[in-house]
Every structure is written in structure tokens, then in C-alpha cells.
Amino acid sequence: PPKQIPSLGQAVLWIAMLGGYLNRKHDHPPGPTVMWRGFLTLHEITKMYRLFRQNE
């Protein structure tokens, strides 16, 4: 586990990046489509993690 809990903004940024957000200097904040894609990707990653953990 991390030493410090990430901020809400950091968590949103990570999810947005999973959805394709590049976080460049002049980019607008991530929108709902990018966030949705990020949540879908996170969901798939979580499912795979749980599946692999079951087989240990």
C-alpha cells in the first residue's frame, strides 16, 4: 500500500489517463467520455487481478 493516500485529484487523473487522457500542459480537464473509458479500463484490470488472485 502507498505511504500516503492519493488525493481525489490524483485518483481522477489516473483514471482519466487509463481512458486516454494525455495530461499535456494545454489540455482541458478530462471530460465524461474519457472518464467513462478510464473506469471501464479500471474495471477490466480489477477483474483480471481478482481472477489471477483466485488461482494462487
pTM of the model: 0.85
| Full residue range of the structural domain in which residue 24 is found | 8-54
Assigned domain for 47 exists: yes
Grade residue 5 by pLDDT with cuts at 50, 70 and 90.
very high
Assigned domain for 2 exists: no
Q: What is the pLDDT of residues 16-27, one digit of tens each?
A: 999 999 999 999
Assigned domain for 1 exists: no
Assigned domain for 3 exists: no
Grade residue 2 by pLDDT with cuts at 50, 70 and 90.
confident
The string of DSSP letters for 1-56 reads: --SSPPPHHHHHHHHHHHTT----TTPPPP-HHHHHHHHHHHHHHHHHHHHHHHT-
d(CA 42, CA 17) in angstroms, rounded, equals 10
Assigned domain for 43 exists: yes
C-alpha cell at position 25: 500542459
C-alpha cell at position 1: 500500500
